[in-house]
Amino acid sequence: MRHHEIIIIGAGISGLSAASTLAAQGRDVLVLEKSRGVSGRAATRRWSETRVDHGAQFFTARSASFKTQVESWEAQGVCFPWATGLHSWSNGLLHSPSGDHHIRYACVDGMNSLGKSMASGINVLTEYEVQNVQPKGHGWEISSANGEEILAHTLIVTTPVVQALKWITESLEPKVLEALQSVRYGPSICVVIRCEMAAPEWQGIQISPPHTLSWIADDTSRRRFDPPVRTIVMHGSAQFSAEWQDRNLEKAADAMLHAAEEIVGGQALGFSDRMVHRWRYALVTQGIPDHVFIASSLDPPVYFCGDAFAGAKVEGAWLSGQAVAAAISQQPSGRQDAQAILLPRSFSELS
């Protein structure tokens, strides 16, 4: 059986944030990821010859520590300032950006460049679908769907909480379990189309409820070239996505494209190809905002982190991973003392 000091389940932003910091300190870290690639919902898909961001669309940097990280990514060419302010749609009208001048960052080669950058040099095992997690001696035994078993002393779980609780519920203290069970998620349906249109006046449009859509973006504006055929990304609103998550996705796409007519005009329907994707746990509708992570007081310890704790954004996920790495770094390699059930680390302390 393979053994590692620290195992992290999930190669999204929070998991890789923690992994890159701990690995840089010389810790023996293994990241397990069920998908073929890394970066979680900061996702990019190859669609024919095009890269498309069909998950997280951009990110901002508000805290000092994340601004430093973003500056590093920008210097490496991983990300760039994409937009300052965004168009909005409300009351049947398209409004120009005003009032909000926060820089929105994007990645020329796709949002998964963030995960790829952090995963460089990290031991990541992809296509590993966790089936069960249980304490074993002074460690945790993780088994996969195909029966492969791995043992770790310290466990960090970064997947959506609802998924984590399918594996690990019986081992947790009641207070930890109650806190985790309070987290709620909502789905998001994404439609991507190719259409022949000139570069629009907008890069992204945030759409106020009630509406079928919550977001439309010119994905092409994030790429290295400006072809006549543009790639447009649309996200369904929280209510629409919840209503349609278990129904026919192609019919959902029809409804979303029809709704887009109102906002971007008939050009949106002149598409040559389309793609539909459903994110079942895309939106954190109820998180745990007063803690950047949760740790059990078990021996062996287990930590839960991600965007459900420090804010449902790229920055929040990154900060949550950093907080866990900081807590573990305070302990000698190969040994972890029992932690308080809810560690008193606030978001503001990390800013």
Strands (E), the chain: 2-9, 29-32, 44-47, 50-53, 80-84, 87-90, 93-95, 103-106, 124-125, 130-136, 139-144, 149-157, 184-196, 204-207, 213-218, 229-236, 271-286, 293-295, 302-305
pLDDT band for position 269 (cuts 50, 70, 90): low
Asked whether residue 266 carries a pLDDT value surpassing 90, the answer given is no
Asked whether residue 332 carries a pLDDT value surpassing 90, the answer given is no
Residue 59 token pair:
């990110």
As a whole number of angstroms, the distance between CA 279 and CA 185 comes to 10
Phi-psi region of 44 (alpha: psi -120 to 50; beta: other; left: phi over 0): beta
Query: What pLDDT, in 10s, does the model give residues 304-319?
Result: 999 999 888 999 999 9
Question: Number of C-alpha atoms within 13 angstroms, CB side, residue 6?
Answer: 32
- 345 DSSP β-pair partners: none
Using alpha carbons only, what angle is made at residue 14 by residues 12 and 15, rounded to the nearest 5 degrees? 65
φ, ψ for residue 146, nearest 5 deg: -95, 10
Q: What is the pLDDT of residue 197?
A: 81
pLDDT mean over 178-188:
95
Residue 87 token pair:
């168009």
Nearest to 204 by CA among 108, 95, 312: 95
Residue 226 token pair:
């400006």
Asked whether residue 120 carries a pLDDT value surpassing 70, the answer given is yes
Q: What is the pLDDT of residue 333?
A: 56
- 206 DSSP β-pair partners: 88, 215
Q: Which residue has the higher pLDDT, 92 or 171?
A: 92
| pTM of the shown model | 0.92
Residue 305 token pair:
């982190």
Q: What is the pLDDT of residue 115?
A: 98
Nearest to 56 by CA among 219, 198, 241: 219
For residue 102, the 8-state DSSP code is: P
Query: What pLDDT, in 10s, does the model give residues 6-26?
Result: 999 999 999 999 999 999 999
Asked whether residue 109 carries a pLDDT value surpassing 70, the answer given is yes
Asked whether residue 342 carries a pLDDT value surpassing 70, the answer given is no
Give Cβ neighbours of residue 120 (< 8 Å, ≥ 6 apart). none
Q: What is the pLDDT of residue 138?
A: 86
Q: What is the pLDDT of residue 48?
A: 79
**H helices within 51-106, ranges in order?**
64-76
From 50-59, 164-173, 244-253, 265-274, the region with the lowest mean pLDDT: 265-274
Asked whether residue 344 carries a pLDDT value surpassing 60, the answer given is no
Asked whether residue 79 carries a pLDDT value surpassing 50, the answer given is yes
pLDDT mean over 118-137:
94
pLDDT mean over 170-186:
92
CA 309 from chain centre, in angstroms, equals 12
From 11-20, 108-117, 322-331, the region with the lowest mean pLDDT: 322-331
Q: What is the pLDDT of residue 294?
A: 92
C-alpha distance from residue 225 to each of 13, 109, 193, 199 (Å): 27, 11, 17, 11
The label of the residue with tokens 């069960």 reads: 132
Nearest to 289 by CA among 304, 307, 272, 266: 307
pLDDT mean over 244-254:
96
Residue 162 token pair:
């609802």
Three-class SS of residue 118? helix
As a whole number of angstroms, the distance between CA 113 and CA 297 comes to 35
Q: What is the pLDDT of residue 338?
A: 33
C-alpha distance from residue 243 to each of 187, 211, 236, 237, 275 (Å): 9, 13, 10, 10, 19
